[in-house]
């Protein structure tokens, strides 16, 4: 966007449009140009420039008549490519859906578009949201705008990279085990996972339905609050939406805030510079009068990651069974040569073998194993019991504190390819994020400093349903960091 001013917030964007500093069409074309200029980052799978420009012209016609802009009007948005937008492709980063076109729009996107948002394209991701690097995409890996030799995180790496590189003002992601927060940390933006049941998942190609939520990546907390105010709330198309409409809250009295700091998140596995950066943020809040309490969450790190990598593959195994090449997506015909006794069964096998990537197949196999007779009680049932213990531990902690602060990741963004061949090491990238998904609580990652010259993030967790407090504290802390 070298020829146009850079906008860091919805408010700033709408003021510039309202004051005719730039037209919405010009702004949208600038974002399309930025996507083209940053094509090497591979942040987008598809771009709908003409569709976006047509929507921008509608906004300009409103400005001509001096009507005030509101809601999401003039906001250019990226959408992760596992969220449906009618008429656009929705690949989930996988070959099996490479030719699929959505026949309807997800509730979350529909509400944003009705409020004036301009969808500019579909962002890249790890296949079906399975990965912590955004390197497991059929359409090629995503590069980190801060350092193109490093990963942007995953699985919403395309969304994080697009926001960081000014290819859109904000982006929707999904968060199944940290997929909004970890990329936000690696790229130096804000990444938010709502409470489970606050945002409709209708139109989301979800692999882990008890874990996954539509989330937001943005330059500032205020934009997340605006987007959530439009996107969240009851939906007759998703029975799991159990929380009322989101409403942002005014500033939290920091001198009355009780903050929990879990010791399990600050062990030897944490990068020293990240540890210092997070502690510096905690110290800043303490200087504002907040009460800092060291707490223990024994089930929230090593046990949580083990629990997650049983429950999540089990759900993936079940959910991805629908992708068989019969109803939609890629189909490879059987010819009887496989000797399975049926051309139809052979077609299923060939389609799934060819259509799913290695990481997806790994998780399907793991999930099928832990659900199989003789092993379900030993693994899956025990994992659900461990999940309940985690929830109980967090509920107990939140009786004593208002928020919990942790690092987002144990390390900054790692070099591309350095962990691809070691699934266990890759899975450990999620060790600080999965607990929020297992418990369904709100969590945000916010930039808090640098390690090795790379951005790092800090998490704020809140009580289930208390998203407004989590976002308010993050907003106030960001203002303190900026000296406002």
Euclidean distance between CA atoms 55 and 87, whole angstroms: 15
280-300 burial code (b ≥16 CB/10 A, e <16): ebbeebeeeebeeeebebebb
- Write the CB contacts of 443 (distance below 8 Å, at least 6 apart in sequence): 181, 192, 193, 433, 436, 459, 460, 461, 462, 470
| DSSP string across 198-260 | SS--TTB--S-TTT-EEEEEESSHHHHHHHHHHH-S--TT-TT--S----------GGG-EEE
- Please confirm, yes or no, whether 80 is among the known catalytic residues: yes
List 155, 206, 317, 445, catalytic entry? 155
List 94, 179, 206, 435, catalytic entry? 179
Q: Is the dihedral of CA 353, 358, 359, 364 positive or negative?
A: positive
* Six token digits for residue 413: 């963004």
- Please confirm, yes or no, whether 302 is among the known catalytic residues: no
**What are the C-alpha distances in Å from 433 to residues 65, 249, 273, 407?**
47, 25, 19, 9
Torsion (CA) 250, 443, 455, 432 in degrees, nearest 10: 150
- Please confirm, yes or no, whether 95 is among the known catalytic residues: no
**In terms of DSSP H, where are the helices of 38-140?**
49-64, 107-114
Q: Quick check: helix, strand or coil at residue 282?
A: helix
List 23, 34, 62, 80, catalytic entry? 80
Q: Which residue has the tokens 């994020």?
A: 433
Let me know if 455 is exposed, middle or buried by CB neighbors in 10 A (0-12, 13-18, 19+).
buried
**What are the C-alpha distances in Å from 45 to residues 14, 48, 81, 91, 269?**
27, 10, 7, 8, 35
- Write the CB contacts of 89 (distance below 8 Å, at least 6 apart in sequence): 45, 46, 81, 99, 100, 101, 102, 122
Euclidean distance between CA atoms 329 and 92, whole angstroms: 11
What's the CA angle centered on 426, arms 271 and 204, to 5 degrees? Answer: 115
Which positions are catalytic?
A: 80, 155, 179
């Amino acid at each position: 966007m070298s020829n146009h001013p850079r906008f860091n917030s919805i408010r700033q964007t709408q003021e510039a449009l309202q004051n005719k500093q730039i037209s919405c069409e010009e702004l949208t074309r600038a974002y399309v140009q930025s996507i083209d200029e940053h094509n090497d980052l591979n942040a987008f799978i598809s771009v709908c420039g003409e569709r976006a420009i047509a929507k921008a012209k509608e906004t300009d016609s409103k400005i001509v008549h001096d009507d005030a802009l509101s809601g999401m009007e003039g906001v250019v948005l990226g959408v992760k490519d596992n969220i449906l937008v009618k008429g656009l492709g929705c690949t989930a980063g996988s070959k099996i859906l490479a030719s699929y076109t959505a026949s309807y729009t997800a509730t979350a996107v529909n509400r944003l578009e009705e409020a004036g948002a301009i969808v500019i394209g579909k962002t890249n991701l790890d296949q079906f949201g399975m990965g912590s690097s955004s390197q497991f995409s059929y359409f090629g890996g995503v590069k980190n705008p801060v350092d193109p030799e490093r990963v942007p995180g995953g699985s919403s790496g395309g969304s994080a990279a697009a926001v960081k590189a000014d290819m859109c003002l904000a982006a929707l992601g999904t968060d199944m085990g940290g997929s909004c927060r970890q990329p936000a940390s690696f790229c130096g933006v804000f990444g938010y996972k709502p409470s489970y049941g606050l945002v409709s998942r209708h139109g989301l190609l979800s692999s882990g339905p008890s874990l996954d939520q539509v989330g937001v990546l943005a330059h500032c907390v205020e934009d997340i609050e605006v987007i959530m105010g439009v996107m969240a709330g009851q939906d007759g198309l998703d029975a799991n939406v159990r929380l009322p409409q989101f409403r942002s809250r005014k500033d939290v009295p920091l001198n009355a805030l009780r903050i929990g700091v879990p010791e399990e998140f600050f062990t030897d596995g944490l990068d020293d510079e990240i540890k210092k950066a997070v502690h510096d943020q905690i110290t800043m809040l303490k200087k504002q009068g907040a009460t800092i309490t060291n707490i223990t969450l024994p089930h929230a790190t090593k046990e949580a990651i083990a629990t997650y990598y049983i429950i999540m593959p089990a759900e993936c195994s079940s959910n991805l069974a629908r992708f068989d090449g019969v109803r939609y997506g890629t189909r490879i015909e059987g010819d009887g040569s496989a000797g399975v006794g049926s051309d139809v069964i052979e077609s299923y096998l060939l389609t799934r073998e060819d259509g799913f990537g290695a990481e997806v197949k790994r998780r399907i196999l793991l999930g099928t194993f832990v659900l199989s007779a003789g092993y379900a009680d030993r693994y899956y049932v025990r994992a659900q019991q461990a999940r309940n213990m985690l929830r109980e531990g967090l509920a107990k902690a939140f009786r004593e504190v208002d928020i919990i602060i942790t690092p987002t990741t144990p390390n900054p963004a790692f070099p591309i390819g350095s962990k691809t061949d070691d699934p266990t090491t890759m899975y450990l990238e999620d060790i600080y994020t999965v607990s929020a998904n297992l418990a369904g609580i709100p969590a945000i990652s916010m930039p808090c400093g640098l390690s090795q010259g790379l951005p790092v993030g800090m998490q704020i967790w809140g009580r289930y349903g208390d998203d407004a407090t989590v976002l308010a504290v993050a907003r106030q802390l960001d203002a303190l960091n900026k000296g406002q």
